[in-house]
Structure 1
Amino acid sequence: MSKAVSALQGASFEGFAKVEETGLRGMITLRGDLASAEMAAAVKAATGADMPALRKVVTGDKGAVAWMSPDELLVVVDYATVNNTVAVLTEALSGVHALVANVSDARAVYRVSGEHSPDVLAKLAPVDFGKDAFGAGDIRRSRFAQVPAAVWGNADGSFEVICFRSVAQYVFDLLKVSAEKGGEVGFH
């Protein structure tokens, strides 16, 4: 069996903001009735997190849960525990209409950090990244130069960007060009 590797194996770039691939992440698409007690209990059992509100990410002791749409969550856990987390969710939701799918190897994740990280993102996505509009725990699904991606804010002021693995190099290159020195726009 082959060893799992991340899309760009730790690619990194430092300009007026730092862009780095974060490596392997366990990611699970979870679909169903987000208002149900069964869903809330399954999420809590699998991650230790409560259900996220609209366009929010919450973190528990075993993972994070991001609101993706009215019937969809993204569960983010350590890559080594993703199969166990899938089993926990599947068992907890066995009596209800739900979908639990491991999408870890279909995604790439980048961290954009530094004082000017909102500038990098604002040049690529039609999202208000101002401090009053987008902060820690906020998530948006959008387009980054015409490819789908999701972005959320971290407590330390950095951002996580998730895209399909098939466009990983393209998104990294977009982020890299956007972060090149001299490209500051003073957005923040």
Structure 2
Amino acid sequence: MSEPISALNHAAYDGIARVEECGLQGMITLRGDLSDKGLAKAVKAATGAGMPGQREIIFAGDNAVAWMSPDELLLLVPHAEADAKVAELSNALSGSFAMAVNVSDARAIIRVSGPSAREVIGKLAPVDLSRGAFPAGQIRRTRLAQVAAAFWADDDNSLRLVCFRSTADYVFKLLSVAAQPGSEVGVY
């Protein structure tokens, strides 16, 4: 059996912000009725995190639960635990109209950090990334130069972005160009 490897092998770039691939991350797409108490209980048991509201991400240690759409959550768990968590969720939700799928190896996570992190992503995404409009704990699904992505702020100067593994190299290069020294705009 081969060992899993990350999409970009921990690539990093330093400019007006640091752009770095985060490595292996367990990711589970959970579709279902988000108002269902059984689904909320299964999510809490699997992650330790509660149900997020619209455009929120809730952390519990190494785990997180992100609202992705009115019937979809993204669960972040350690990579090695993703398959077991899918089995746990599927068992807990059997008989419910819900589906849990391990998407860990189909996605990549890139961190953009530093005082200009919001500016780097703001150059590529049509989102108000000011600290007041986009505080830590918020998540957005959008496009970066026409590539699907979602991102959240860990704090004022650090954001993580999830994209498809197939576009990870392109997204990394987009972010690196947006982070080139001397490219500050000073919006955020």
Q: Same fold (TM over 0.5)?
A: yes
- Give the equivalent residue in structure 2 for 1:35: 35
Cα distance in 2 for residues equivalent to 1:39 and 1:122: 34
Instruction: Report the AA paired with residue 122 of structure 2.
Output: A
Instruction: Report the AA paired with residue 11 of structure 1.
Output: A
Secondary structure of the 1:154 match is strand
Cα distance in 2 for residues equivalent to 1:84 and 1:62: 15
- Give the equivalent residue in structure 2 for 1:130: 130
Map 1:119-158 to 2 at 5 A: 119-155=119-155, 157-158=157-158
Map 1:55-70 to 2 at 5 A: 55-61=55-61, 63-70=63-70
Percent identity over the alignment?
Answer: 56
Map 1:1-188 to 2 at 5 A: 1-61=1-61, 63-155=63-155, 157-188=157-188
Instruction: Report the AA paired with residue 45 of structure 1.
Output: A
TM-score normalised to the size of structure 2? 0.98
* Cα deviation code 1:61-112 (max 9, x no counterpart): 4510000000000000110111111111111111201010000000011000
TM-score normalised to the size of structure 1? 0.98
Q: Is there any run of 5+ residues in structure 1 with no aligned partner, and where?
A: none
Q: Indicate conservation of the 8 Å contact 1:26/1:82, yes or no.
A: yes
Secondary structure of the 2:183 match is coil
Q: Indicate conservation of the 8 Å contact 1:136/1:157, yes or no.
A: no
Q: Is there any run of 5+ residues in structure 2 with no aligned partner, and where?
A: none
How many residue pairs get aligned? The number is: 188
